Structure 1
Amino acid sequence: MPELSVVVYGRNVQGHLPEALAELTGAGPAGTGLAGTGPVGTAGPAPGEAPTTPAPVVEVIVAAVGPTAQDAAARHPSVTVVPLPDGTPDSTARAAGAARATGRWLQFAHSKDGVTALAARGAAERAAALPETVDVLLTDHVRSTWRYARTPSPDGRFLAKPGRRDVPVGDCPDLLKVTPLLGTRIVRADFWRAHAELFATDDELFVAYAALLAADRVAAYDQVALEDRQLRAESLPPVTPDDRFALLETYERLLRLAAERAAGPGPTAVLYAAMVTASLRIIARAKLPEPAARDFFRRASRAAVAHRPPGYRRPGGLEGVRRRLLEEDVYAKYRAFQAANQQRRKVRSTIGAGRQAVGRKVRDARYHQDLRRPVDPDLAVFSAYWDRGVACNPAAIAAKLAELAPHVHPVWIVGAENVPLLPPGTDHVVPGTRRYWRTLATAKYLVNNANFPNAVVKRPDAVHVQTHHGTPLKRMGLDQLDYPAAAKGLNFHELLARVDRWDYSVSSNSHSTQMWQRAYQSRYEELDHGYPRNDVYYTATAADVRAVRERLGIAPGSRALLYAPTHRDYEATWTPRLDLAALAERLGEETVLLVRGHYFYGGAASPLTGLRRAGRVIDVSSYDPVEDLALAADALITDYSSIMFDYANLDRPIVIYADDWETYAKTRGVYFDLLAEPPGHVARTQEELTRLLTSPAWRDETAAKARAAFRRRFCEFDDGRAAERVVRRVFLGESPTELPPITPLDERTPAPTPEEATS
């Protein structure tokens, strides 16, 4: 018997069903299936036992309408299809799917929504560990629209309330504040069937709440188990006044259910607040015809009074006034109050905009006064990754500057949130402050691996150094014009104005030099000196390698694999494309996975939280500098991240995991075919990757030959003295002929490997 049956139901809205099945079975570009363990995960034999036919951990039931559903399901032999005639309501489809399901637990996902194989496996394992007294496992979700993909939900704080305990919903009413989506309620099959009559409605909002109210005990799971794909409102049938009244009736029915179930004052208060909030939102935003609006207001007023919990106290402020007017059923007064409040907001907005404009004028006036001050020849401003801190090429240049030109004083631009992370004694300014603008106005040198704000003025005697922060595989700058996903929000006229401020552009190979010239068309001197941040790959000692591994908790003799995927322009949050838990299990106890998410997702909740305690998976997304991680790793696993070009300097194995290469290349645009010119072996599935890493192939002769060709092309200028060349050329004014020559590739000695460092 499988642990979980995922029932995909409903008509194939806007053609999403094939994509949903591909994700769920792990067969499509967006899938994260469990390679080597069946399409959606299976339980294999215990160590030492003979192989048997494995029982699936997750089964997939498709109870959908129309031939498209059957055709899509036919491509996935492991899927059970329940064909339904046109016009079958969602409630009937769910019931038909549940009747065919054999799992102990049920998850219902509409055909437009998404459940990945990895998410289903994780939910199944969490559900399997629950006692028989738990009826519902409440999960998190992400939301996608036509504009944004996989936006995190606000539900984490509510799901965290019970921790690992299972509770009656009356003891933790905040669980009712979790977004009411049926797909995030994983229900025990026996519980669902026992309440089949209660759940026999097309009203998903009611079923989502009712599942919690009817449950004896509920457990929370703070991992994402559903992608809620919200369809564009303009593509759906228009919402009618009857739909608005139906929503109000749903909440009243839920409040009656809460009373029947003796849910307690907490759940009743949460549902009541949700009903009143929804009613006021409809009155304010739904643009109902005036007669219908009056009627709805009167109906909502009766509901607000009839269901008001004992001891209820209205909130203070404007919200309290709105609720009082609703309860008193004074529609004319409410509209007058609403109009007055809108006018008040408009006036405040105008005043606020005026104050901001005045503030900008004051700032600009002061800044332009500072621009008339003499340039300080001994002042240098550094910034990295949009003011994140001391990092990357700027950090390596600043360190060498202190050695070769100590008379030049460095000042770092650092966002206020990152100031506590600065090395002790680092002189810094916070963006927007008075000293920030004065420093930018008077510094002789401005060094950045991104770009300074548009408002920064390029003084004739100031020097701007663009260090970049990677070798370009993906399209950059003007080359993004043909790729809307990559160019989203980018103003190319402003970009070129920023580029026109550059005096120098640092490059690590001829490929980069050519691409920068093409993507950033302006007048600047190319510094074909190598990337300063890569110097450490030739200067680090065996002691340095051992020290980094010790800081990371890597046991001597263990194999450490650094997994560092890149950013996708079509994803708002980072979801690992590998089942890391399964990979770690297959690789065994002697291998440690160092997992680093892209810095673009720094503000998002880490999907690795549940794996950190395993010991063999270490989340190093926030660890700096990344060069330390490279020194500690025996090999690199990446997809299309520029870290591969830097890591190649170490002459250690690199494995490319390219499960979505075609999608990435089409949406982002690339400068060359990585699969035709890789730095090592290429895996297109998790099973292929696992086979490589569990055999000697990951560092065989074929991999070494590919890496050698890759290094000749992309490690051209990196030899351990890049920072010195940049400092001598830019800060000391030495001519190109005076700089240290680049050591030929065959004469360079990379830092010791972890194996060499311990021998």
Structure 2
Amino acid sequence: MSETLSETASETPKLSVVVHGPDVQDHLSALLDSLDAHPLTGVEVIVAAVGDWAREAAERHTPAFTVLPLPDGARDPAARSAGAARASGRWLHFVHAKDGLPPGAPRAIAEHAAGLPDTVDVLLLDHVRSTWRASGLPSPDGPRLARAGRAALAPDDHPALLEVTPLLGNRAVRAGFWRAHERLLTTDDEPFAAYAALLLADRVACLPHPAYEDRRLRPESLPPPTPEQRYALVERFETLLGLAAGRPAAHAVLYDLMIRECLHAFARSGMPDDVGREFFHRASLAARRHRPDGHRHPAGLEGVRRSLLERDACAEYRALRAAHRTRRRARSAVRTGRHRAGTLLRTLQYRRALAGPVDPHLAVFSAYWARGVACNPAAIAARLAELAPGVHPVWVVTAAGAALLPPGTDHVVPGTRRYWEVLARAKYLVNNVNFPDAVVKRPGTVHLQTHHGTPLKRMGLDQMPYPAAARGLDFQALLERVDRWDFSVSANSHSTRMWQRAYPSRHVSLDHGYPRNDVFYTAGAADVRAVRERLGIAPGHRAVLYAPTHRDYEAGWTPRLDLAALADALGEETILLVRAHYFYEGTAAPHASPPAGPRRTGRIIDVSSYDPVEELCLAADALVTDYSSIMFDYANLDRPIVIHADDWETYRTTRGVYFDLMAEAPGPVARDQAELTEILTTDAWRDERAAKARAAFRRRFCEYDDGRAAERVVRRVFLGEDERTLPPVLPVEERTPAPSPEEATAS
């Protein structure tokens, strides 16, 4: 960690950077890492961290930063006030936890502020903008700030500065000025505070240098605005115009801004009709009430200004709304047309089914792109049959997979008439991936995304910087699928944070555990013995499950171990259970594609086609894997895990990862086959050091898995129970996993 506070205790910092707010979509860590990466002479960093996630992210940077933990739900004004009260700098720069700072920004602000006279209250900064699509986009403010120059200005002499984007982050404020006006500036309406700071300032200076990053979150990931929040835009400008009373130039600029912002919000924000009418009415009244005498709007605004000044704005309203809907339909047709070309029959069938009522007793389940009854959906369906037998499950399964279904399983094959009918009518749609793009999210339906692993590798939007992982992905289409989710199942807080970051939408996280992992706490000794007998593992033999993952940077599967040599080295008493990733089924073991069940070659058993994989975990004394998410599930059993990471640097660089597995592995790490053999032929695979690493890993990544995840999900989603009435998650140290093979044999 670099030194970020180089001032001595007796010196007053020139600048206090006040980072505030919750860790929205996991952006805070990157912000704090950037602040910690460079020496910041004359700068202190105060982190008013809202909630546990923000506190944990901030505390990783102590003692360099001062951390003020605030409870979940603390609002931004309270966080800013808490940070400002603790700050000792002459200048304050408020930085929201979701936003960022370009390299060198704090230094540039501190150095420029140090040369300003005490009469300057606000230092205006240029900024860049970032969205999920792109980062570092220039703002429109740079030329405006450059024209103003760097000298101290009286705001009334330069009212055009009010047109600078209203962010608190693109203006530093003198600490004394902030405290003198804190009551007015401490508001949930950040743009109001940004405008008011300029109206209240005696002098303003400008720094035409990008010193802030405004990260604009997807609107679809934020709670929809209430009618009162929409009307607040009009109230904001009416209050600001009151502050500008007696200052004609500032009043005129604010009036133009009010007209522009109100029309923009009205035409583009998709307000419901009744809300839109009321908003337009309030904006029209404000336009008439505050119109300056003889005032003319800038070119292009005169027509829309007249529409706001008309007492009967209904016709203008309808015309604007109709034009807006037409534009949206045109964009939608262009975006979806390519998906529907050549599928007229399917579309007509689906549309007819959509015209019918939603069936509240019908649920559609799918797993791994319709491969069969598996994973979290299978565990949920099984518990659903017990707790809500009135809900009928229908599985989506390929024609090839249908022959392997349990007897009596109601199913549909993708693309068939009944497939589209059940997708259109079902109230519940459950999947561990996504349903096709053509599926419509009907009102009253519930889409449950269960996922199929805890993420080590980058997922969703986080794949965008990694060409090998992003190849062929349409991220806009992905987000449209994600926007259908109502619920997202999570096994641990790490996953919850990463899903919010990788899939930003309004889905509710179900921090209930992975239903497929319930068996690791409900299985008994007889279950362990039975699966080992099915696999042909003799009592007293050690079974090592080897389950590697796939590589995005490779065109096909590349053997990473000489399995025959490894089996010889481990001896007669060890059996290797080899589980290829489902992308490469049948290619991991040293023989051709296997039949539908296990195939044995000496002490190697190819279990690539064996389902469910949870039974293989129950049968294994130890797990060897590389970067597969199976390690997170297997850790529930509290059995030894060995990581074989021969290409970690390449994998990390080409795919991207969320944490350093080499530093936080659940057991010993082997970088080649010789090291792996050494670990497995000594006690290193299960010694005290390995157990300590595994315990830390379990606490972090088995957080919600306690054997009752499926029950919690069914009761919350299908029975509509309040989350507070569900069975609480049992702490890790109070859980009893399924017995190990050794324990099962002895019982």
Smaller-chain TM-score bracket: 0.5 to 0.7
Query: Is 1:657 the counterpart of 2:644 in the alignment?
Result: yes
Query: Is 1:747 the counterpart of 2:734 in the alignment?
Result: yes
**Aligned residue number for residue 603 of structure 2:** 616
Q: What amino acid is the match of 1:521? A: P
Q: SS in structure 2 opposite 1:421?
A: coil
Tell me the CA shift for residue 685 of structure 1: 1.1
Residues 631-679 of structure 1 deviation map (CA, whole Å, 9 limit, x = unaligned): 0000000000000000000000000000000000000000000000000
Tell me the CA shift for residue 610 of structure 1: 9.9
Measure the CA separation in 2 of the matches of 1:579 and 1:604. Answer: 13
Aligned residues: 405
Tell me the CA shift for residue 613 of structure 1: 5.0
**Aligned residue number for residue 478 of structure 1:** 461
Q: Cα distance 1:571–1:603, how it changes in 2: closer, same or farther (>3 A)? A: farther
C-alpha contact 2:340 2:347 (8 A) present in aligned 1: no
**Aligned residue number for residue 728 of structure 1:** 715
**Aligned residue number for residue 386 of structure 1:** 369
**Aligned residue number for residue 513 of structure 2:** 530
Residues 120-144 of structure 1 deviation map (CA, whole Å, 9 limit, x = unaligned): xxxxxxxxxxxxxxxxxxxxxxxxx
Measure the CA separation in 2 of the matches of 1:359 and 1:435. Answer: 19
Query: Is 1:684 the counterpart of 2:671 in the alignment?
Result: yes
Measure the CA separation in 2 of the matches of 1:441 and 1:591. Answer: 51
Matches within 5 A, 1:538-553: 538-553=521-536
**Aligned residue number for residue 567 of structure 1:** 550
C-alpha contact 1:725 1:739 (8 A) present in aligned 2: yes
Q: What amino acid is the match of 1:549? A: R
Residues 99-135 of structure 1 deviation map (CA, whole Å, 9 limit, x = unaligned): xxxxxxxxxxxxxxxxxxxxxxxxxxxxxxxxxxxxx
Query: Is 1:644 the counterpart of 2:634 in the alignment?
Result: no
**Aligned residue number for residue 509 of structure 1:** 492
Tell me the CA shift for residue 359 of structure 1: 5.5
Tell me the CA shift for residue 698 of structure 1: 0.8
Q: SS in structure 1 opposite 2:704?
A: coil
Measure the CA separation in 1 of the matches of 2:528 and 2:693. Answer: 25
C-alpha contact 2:559 2:588 (8 A) present in aligned 1: no
**Aligned residue number for residue 758 of structure 1:** 745
Measure the CA separation in 2 of the matches of 1:439 and 1:503. Answer: 19
Measure the CA separation in 2 of the matches of 1:362 and 1:630. Answer: 45
Tell me the CA shift for residue 614 of structure 1: 3.2
Measure the CA separation in 1 of the matches of 2:592 and 2:623. Answer: 22
Q: SS in structure 2 opposite 1:445?
A: strand
Residues 143-175 of structure 1 deviation map (CA, whole Å, 9 limit, x = unaligned): xxxxxxxxxxxxxxxxxxxxxxxxxxxxxxxxx
Measure the CA separation in 1 of the matches of 2:681 and 2:588. Answer: 31
C-alpha contact 2:362 2:428 (8 A) present in aligned 1: yes
Q: What amino acid is the match of 2:637? A: L
Query: Is 1:706 the counterpart of 2:693 in the alignment?
Result: yes
TM-score w.r.t. structure 2 length? 0.53
**Aligned residue number for residue 366 of structure 1:** 349
Q: Cα distance 1:677–1:361, how it changes in 2: closer, same or farther (>3 A)? A: same
**Aligned residue number for residue 442 of structure 1:** 425
Measure the CA separation in 2 of the matches of 1:614 and 1:494. Answer: 44
**Aligned residue number for residue 287 of structure 1:** none
Tell me the CA shift for residue 358 of structure 1: 8.0
Q: What amino acid is the match of 1:663? A: T
Tell me the CA shift for residue 575 of structure 1: 2.7
**Aligned residue number for residue 459 of structure 1:** 442
Alignment partner for residue 405 of structure 1, among 384, 388, 394? Answer: 388
C-alpha contact 2:625 2:631 (8 A) present in aligned 1: yes
Measure the CA separation in 2 of the matches of 1:697 and 1:707. Answer: 13
Q: What amino acid is the match of 2:402? A: V
**Aligned residue number for residue 415 of structure 1:** 398
Q: SS in structure 2 opposite 1:678?
A: coil
Measure the CA separation in 2 of the matches of 1:488 and 1:604. Answer: 24
Residues 65-92 of structure 1 deviation map (CA, whole Å, 9 limit, x = unaligned): xxxxxxxxxxxxxxxxxxxxxxxxxxxx
**Aligned residue number for residue 614 of structure 2:** 627
**Aligned residue number for residue 269 of structure 1:** none
- Return 5+ residue gaps in structure 2 as ranges: 1-336
Q: What amino acid is the match of 1:637? A: V
Measure the CA separation in 2 of the matches of 1:610 and 1:497. Answer: 37
C-alpha contact 1:574 1:597 (8 A) present in aligned 2: no
Measure the CA separation in 1 of the matches of 2:530 and 2:602. Answer: 19
Query: Is 1:490 the counterpart of 2:477 in the alignment?
Result: no
C-alpha contact 1:466 1:504 (8 A) present in aligned 2: yes
Matches within 5 A, 1:58-77: none
Tell me the CA shift for residue 571 of structure 1: 2.1
Matches within 5 A, 1:126-205: none
Measure the CA separation in 2 of the matches of 1:502 and 1:685. Answer: 41
C-alpha contact 1:608 1:619 (8 A) present in aligned 2: no
Query: Is 1:428 the counterpart of 2:411 in the alignment?
Result: yes
Measure the CA separation in 1 of the matches of 2:370 and 2:360. Answer: 23
C-alpha contact 2:365 2:377 (8 A) present in aligned 1: yes
Q: What amino acid is the match of 2:631? A: M
**Aligned residue number for residue 719 of structure 1:** 706
Measure the CA separation in 2 of the matches of 1:437 and 1:516. Answer: 29
**Aligned residue number for residue 580 of structure 1:** 563
- Return 5+ residue gaps in structure 1 as ranges: 1-353
Q: What amino acid is the match of 2:506? A: R
Residues 266-288 of structure 1 deviation map (CA, whole Å, 9 limit, x = unaligned): xxxxxxxxxxxxxxxxxxxxxxx
Measure the CA separation in 2 of the matches of 1:605 and 1:491. Answer: 30
**Aligned residue number for residue 309 of structure 1:** none
Measure the CA separation in 1 of the matches of 2:627 and 2:662. Answer: 10
Query: Is 1:469 the counterpart of 2:456 in the alignment?
Result: no
**Aligned residue number for residue 696 of structure 1:** 683
Measure the CA separation in 2 of the matches of 1:452 and 1:580. Answer: 37
Q: What amino acid is the match of 1:744? A: P
Measure the CA separation in 2 of the matches of 1:684 and 1:618. Answer: 24
Q: Cα distance 1:357–1:633, how it changes in 2: closer, same or farther (>3 A)? A: closer
Residues 312-339 of structure 1 deviation map (CA, whole Å, 9 limit, x = unaligned): xxxxxxxxxxxxxxxxxxxxxxxxxxxx
C-alpha contact 1:563 1:636 (8 A) present in aligned 2: yes
TM-score w.r.t. structure 1 length? 0.52
Q: What amino acid is the match of 2:485? A: W
Q: What amino acid is the match of 2:733? A: D
Q: SS in structure 2 opposite 1:447?
A: strand
Measure the CA separation in 2 of the matches of 1:719 and 1:555. Answer: 30
Q: What amino acid is the match of 1:388? A: R
**Aligned residue number for residue 359 of structure 2:** 376
Q: What amino acid is the match of 2:649? A: E
Q: SS in structure 1 opposite 2:343?
A: helix
Q: Cα distance 1:434–1:605, how it changes in 2: closer, same or farther (>3 A)? A: farther
Alignment partner for residue 655 of structure 2, among 668, 673, 680? Answer: 668
Measure the CA separation in 1 of the matches of 2:578 and 2:588. Answer: 14
Tell me the CA shift for residue 551 of structure 1: 0.3
Q: SS in structure 1 opposite 2:705?
A: coil
Q: SS in structure 2 opposite 1:624?
A: coil
Q: Which moved more, 1:724-733 or 1:593-602?
A: 593-602
Tell me the CA shift for residue 574 of structure 1: 2.1
Measure the CA separation in 1 of the matches of 2:590 and 2:536. Answer: 21
C-alpha contact 1:576 1:607 (8 A) present in aligned 2: no
C-alpha RMSD over aligned residues: 1.7
Q: SS in structure 2 opposite 1:593?
A: strand
Measure the CA separation in 1 of the matches of 2:351 and 2:426. Answer: 14
Alignment partner for residue 593 of structure 1, among 562, 571, 576? Answer: 576
